Amino acid sequence: MNNRVVIRSLVLPEGYIAAMDDGMISWRPSEGNRRNTRLPYPVTTLLAVGGPSGKCESIWCGDSQGNVTHVSIPMLKVLDKYSLNSSSIRAICAVSTTSDKVLVGTSNGEIWTLGKEVPGSQILLFSLNKAVTSIRCNESNITIQSGWSRYVFDWTGEEIEHHDQNRIFNKKQSKRDNRRAKLLKVQYEKGALPEARLLDMPLIA
């Protein structure tokens, strides 16, 4: 009995890619036969990139052990492998539509650039020291999402901007706590609230 579970997928005009929990990668075209290959570890993120034909010609697969594998479509031939000796790969971004380079973000916040155009095939650019949720870039900047926080860096790793959405949520939480405290106080003053419940009242900021 096949108990594989699809953990990542990509829908493309010509078909779709399914990545299984045992490392299996399956190309399922709209027309034609399926093809399968197996990677050593489960895939944690997928990126499809186009070629000169304008169609998707390959995918980048990041796995749970810090490896990135470049695989052709539709043959599923391994084009390149990169071992970052890092934590789980969380995000992959193409540097440009005409470049072989990609940016990679890991769960421990490392930002790498990989590809045939990169000296030595791979370079650690900098580290955010926080898990990367998503990553995108242009010629001058790299934008990284980490949870509710968004960071903008230049290509040297110098931080340009930082927007922390947690501050907004914390302010809203504080307002909710204040409203609750006032309500509990009114109920207590009317005798509708046991004195013991006052121990649960948040402080009014």
- 93 is a domain residue: yes
Please tell me whether residues 99 and 195 are part of one structural domain: no
Judge contact between 43 and 52, C-beta under 8 A.
no
Judge contact between 46 and 90, C-beta under 8 A.
no
Give the range of the structural domain holding residue 147, as residue numbers without chain letter: 6-164
Please tell me whether residues 152 and 176 are part of one structural domain: no
For residue 96, the domain's CATH number is 2.130.10.10
Task: Kindly report, residue by residue over 108-162, the tens digit of the pLDDT.
Answer: 999 999 998 899 999 999 999 899 999 999 999 999 999 889 999 999 999 999 9
The span from the CA of 66 to the CA of 83, in Å, is: 6
- 140 is a domain residue: yes
- Both tokens of 75, joined, read 């043959």
Please list the residues that pair with 93 across neighbouring strands.
103
Judge contact between 39 and 69, C-beta under 8 A.
yes
One-letter amino acid at 12 equals L
Per-position pLDDT tens, the chain of length 205: 468 899 999 999 999 999 999 999 999 999 999 999 999 999 999 999 988 777 889 999 999 999 999 999 999 999 999 999 878 999 999 997 767 899 999 999 999 999 988 999 999 999 998 999 999 999 999 999 998 899 999 999 999 999 886 666 566 666 676 677 777 676 766 766 555 454 455 554 4
Q: How many CB atoms lie within 10 A of CB 26?
A: 19
- 10 is a domain residue: yes
Number of domains in the chain: 2
Judge contact between 66 and 81, C-beta under 8 A.
no
Please tell me whether residues 24 and 85 are part of one structural domain: yes
Please list the residues that pair with 17 across neighbouring strands.
10, 27
Going from the C-alpha of 125 to that of each of 122, 134, 158, 172, the distances in angstroms are 9, 16, 10, 36
The span from the CA of 175 to the CA of 162, in Å, is: 24
Residue 17 CA, chain-centre distance (Å), reads 18
pLDDT for 191: 66
**Secondary structure letter of residue 186 according to DSSP:** H
Locus of tokens 């010629």: 139
Please tell me whether residues 49 and 127 are part of one structural domain: yes
pLDDT for 142: 97
